[in-house]
Amino acid sequence: MSSTLTIHVLSIVASRHYQIGITKVQLNIGVNCGMAAEQLPSPDMVVQLFKNYSIGKVRLPEPNSAVLEALENSGIDVTLCIKNEDLPSIASSAKAAETWSIKHVEPYIPLMNFQYITAGNEVFPGDLAKYVLPGMRNIQNIINSYEYTGLRVCTVVGIATLGSLDPTLSGAFADKARADMVGIINLLLKTSSPLLANVYTYFAFASDPDHVRLDYVQFTATRPLVQDSNLSYSNMLDEFFVDTVVCESGWPSAGDELWATPLLAQTYNQNFNQKQVGVDRHWGLFYSDGTPVCPVQRVD
């Protein structure tokens, strides 16, 4: 079987990005476009695929000149990520930040709809966390000098950044991440930029299926299953985050014979669509020939 493109959805609806399956209908969605798989189609083919499925937003995990050139004049909003290993130099030197921007952003600005630049991906807590805030500031200063409206600088966190979510209202950043996150949140508030988060409810379920209900993580519950003060939740994703941009989520179609199946992936993706809001090898939405991995019912 041909390899799959690592494509996750970035849906900006109610201040969230959700991974959903593919349906050929005009929705305010986008995708993470992975570049590590084998037998990847050409950038031009990928961009055409996005247009065929009315995908209006894309997140690039790292700068790639061929992909950026293919996205020029496409009308697709682009989120460009600074690689984790580039954070120390960009954080420590305004000149390094300028060099990065001159190479990866400035040449494309006249023809590109840049939406976000993200400084790092899931580095909290960790050795690279201390570089995110100064890196964001240096890049933000460069962007300000372009007088390019609409482009904001932010970062991406994972579940490890959070402390307790039980109950949700008591949620807080993990102790090891809190000091770094306070400064970042203050900067995001100042620039009216979102915090991006990668959330995979599949892992919460697969690690404890005896206590986590499948309908709670698949959006199929017909009533609230969790009550937190005056708030109630019928699905885990809403419980995890409020007013946060969820930039990665989804359900694998293979890799675990019991729970990672095409049927469960289709159910999850289709319910995402209706909501509009190891295993890594099997998160892709498309095979390399451009066909969807899982069919999803059209929603008009």
- Omega prior to 224 cis, within 30 of 0: no
With contact defined as beta carbons under 8 Å apart, do 156 and 247 qualify? yes
Distance CA 10, CA 24 (A): 16
Strand 77-82's sheet: what is its strand order?
A: 7-9, 30-33, 57-60, 77-82, 113-121, 152-157, 196-198, 245-248
Among residues 78, 162, 147, which one has the least CA distance to residue 118?
78
3-state SS of 30-60 is EEEECCCCCCCCCHHHHHHHHHHCCCCEEEE
Q: Is 122 a catalytic residue?
A: yes
Token couple for 211: 């206590």
Catalytic residue, chosen from 72, 98, 106, 122, is 122
Q: Could you give the residue ranges of the DSSP H alpha helices within the chain? A: 43-52, 65-71, 87-92, 94-104, 132-146, 175-191, 201-207, 214-217, 236-240, 262-275
Query: How many Cβ atoms sit within 10 Å of the Cβ of residue 106?
Result: 16
Exposed / middle / buried, residue 110 (Cβ in 10 Å: 0-12, 13-18, 19+): exposed
Distance CA 225, CA 216 (A): 7
Query: How many Cβ atoms sit within 10 Å of the Cβ of residue 94?
Result: 15
Which residues are known catalytic residues?
Answer: 122, 248
